[in-house]
Amino acid sequence: MKHIKAVIRPEKLNEVRDALDKAGCAKGMMITDIVGHGGQKGIEQVWRGEKYTVDLLPKVMLDLVVRDADVPTVKEVLLRVAPIGEFGDGKIFIYNVEEVIRIRTGETGEAAL
Ligand SMILES: Nc1ncnc2c1ncn2[C@@H]1O[C@H](COP(=O)(O)OP(=O)(O)OP(=O)(O)O)[C@@H](O)[C@H]1O
Ligand SMILES: [Mg+2]
């Protein structure tokens, strides 16, 4: 099992959720509003002639724990739906998951996803 942590644009959340749903590759998910920055360290803006930098931008963090077999599909969906083709389109981090336990039943592993 893998933990896929995807940081995406907030305005893409609904589209990404619909696409993951349609692809049937994510049974559950965690969604968190975050602020952060990548390589550009935010963006420079001009307001009434004054330059200022917004150094932390709002993003949505999507946490999915999925079967190994579903990882390629999740990646394909994210890479297809999440970008607008500009800086700040987001990033995907993938981790190994040691165990999952459904509290109600005690089921473990993929059966618990
Ligand atoms: N190395 C990193 N570690 C942790 N979080 C990161 C990292 N890079 C990006 N993020 C998170 O992802 C969000 C979006 O990053 P972003 O898409 O701007 O990455 P980037 O590497 O700058 O790519 P791009 O050049 O396309 O903008 C950031 O706001 C931050 O929350
Ligand atoms: Mg960036």
The residue written with tokens 């995406």 in the block is: 8
> Which of 34-43, 88-97, 103-112 comes out lowest in average pLDDT?
34-43
Instruction: Please give the distance, rounded to the nearest whole angstrom, from the Cα atom of residue 89 to the centre of ligand 1.
Output: 8
- For 2-112, the fitting CATH number among 3.30.428.10, 3.40.50.1400, 3.40.630.10, 3.30.70.120 is 3.30.70.120
Point out the ligand 1 atom lying closest to the alpha carbon of residue 7: 12
Tokens of 50: 């004054």
Point out the ligand 1 atom lying closest to the alpha carbon of residue 38: 22
- The gap from C-alpha 68 to its chain's centroid, in whole angstroms, comes to 17
pLDDT of residue 47: 79
pLDDT in tens, 15-65: 999 999 999 998 999 999 999 999 888 777 777 888 777 789 999 999 999
Instruction: Please give the distance, rounded to the nearest whole angstrom, from the Cα atom of residue 92 to the centre of ligand 1.
Output: 9
Give the residue-averaged pLDDT of 70-81: 98
Q: What is the chain's mean pLDDT, rounded?
A: 94
In degrees and rounded to multiples of 5, residue 88 shows phi and psi of 90, 15
Give the residue-averaged pLDDT of 63-76: 98
Q: What ranges do the domains of the chain cover? A: 2-112
What is the DSSP annotation of 8-49? E-GGGHHHHHHHHHHHT--S--EEEEEEE--TT-SEEEEETT
